[in-house]
Every structure is written in structure tokens, then in C-alpha cells.
Amino acid sequence: MTDDRLRTASEELRQASAATEDAEVQRRLYDQSDRIASLAAADEAPDGDTLMQHLHALGDLREATGGDVSERVDAALEAVRAVRDDGEN
């Protein structure tokens, strides 16, 4: 069950990773991108706890970034929140 919102979040994070010059932040963004891409391609929808873990990690990354990178992290956060909110209904 592919979720386009999670694929979008993953792509935003890949682009953010490519745009940052901080090697540690770049690695963290890329890792989150990979993990979210795996969720997007999974047969089952992710559970709320897993999504919350990603939301917390993305919140930390948003605080560690600025400019275009931060905007891309925000876009990923919005997409993951939408998936989580749909799962709660």
C-alpha cells in the first residue's frame, strides 16, 4: 500500500539533505528519508507510534536547520502529520 504523502515526505527530506552543508544533519535527513520511504512502500499502514517517532525526529531536524532546508522539513512534517491524523480517525 503505497502512500503518496509519505513518498512526498521522503522526497522533501532527500532534497533537504542535498541542500544542507552540515554533514551530520545531512546524514540524519537522509536516514529519515530512507525510513519514511520504507513506510510508504510497506504493505500495511504505519502505526501511530512509528509516525510519532518520525514526527519527533523531524521536529528536532527542523530546529537544527534554516532557510530552504527547514521549509522542506516542514513540508515533510505536514505530510507525516496528515498520515497520522488519517490513521487516528
Please compute the mean of the pLDDT values over residues 9-14 and round it to a whole number: 98
Q: Degrees (nearest 5) of the Cα angle 21, 25, 26?
A: 60
Distance, in Å, from the CA atom of 89 to the CA atom of 75, rounded to the nearest integer, reads 22
pLDDT of residue 1 exceeding 50, the answer is: no
Q: Report whether pLDDT(20) > 80.
A: yes
Percent of the residues in the chain that have a pLDDT greater than 90, as a whole number:
89
